[in-house]
Amino acid sequence: MEIWHNPACSKSAAARAAMDDARVPYRLRSYLERPPSAAELTEVLRRLGARPWDVCRTGEPAAVARGMADWPRDDAAAPRWIEAMVAAPELIQRPILLLDDGGALLGRTPQALAEAARRAARADG
């Protein structure tokens, strides 16, 4: 499993603690220091079954400055959203858990973290 995280984020810390408690091995990617490419983010969105605006932090100053809350949310606008998140990775929700089974979860709730641990255990078994 790879966890896209922000070391200063409490939700990221909770994801790491949950995986440690479940003894799930993981790799950390500090996506603020090593931002994803547009292709990587597009693939992560596919794995999440999400659209770019579903994982965008539109309250962040970088989003407010771009006026993203008013951007269209349709297929034609998706590349614009992705490019903005690649340029300003702080706009990406965290943590994102990229599971070894090919799926992905946004690990912001205890339920999502429990699901990630269950799926990791199944992949190992």
Tens of pLDDT, residue by residue over 50-67, are 999 999 999 999 999 999
Q: What is the 3-state secondary structure (H, E, C) of 53-122?
A: HHHECCCCHHHHHHCHHHCCCCHHHHHHHHHHHHHCHHHECCCEEECCCCCEEECCCHHHHHHHHHHHHH
Q: Provide the token pair at 112.
A: 């999502």
Enumerate the domain spans of the chain: 2-124
User: Nearest 5°: CA angle at 83, between 81 and 88?
Assistant: 95
Give the pLDDT score at 3: 97
Point out which residues pair with 104 in neighbouring strands.
98
Assign domain 2-124 one CATH number from 3.40.30.10, 3.40.630.30, 3.40.50.720, 2.60.40.790.
3.40.30.10
| Listed residue (11, 2, 1) closest to 93, CA to CA | 11
3-class state of residue 8 by DSSP: coil
At 2, which helix (H) or strand (E)?
strand 2-5
pLDDT class of 74 with cuts at 50, 70, 90:
very high
- Mean pLDDT over residues 59-79, rounded? 97
Strand 96-98, strand 2-5: pairing = antiparallel
| Listed residue (104, 64, 98) closest to 84, CA to CA | 64
Output the average pLDDT for the chain.
95
Give the pLDDT score at 31: 94
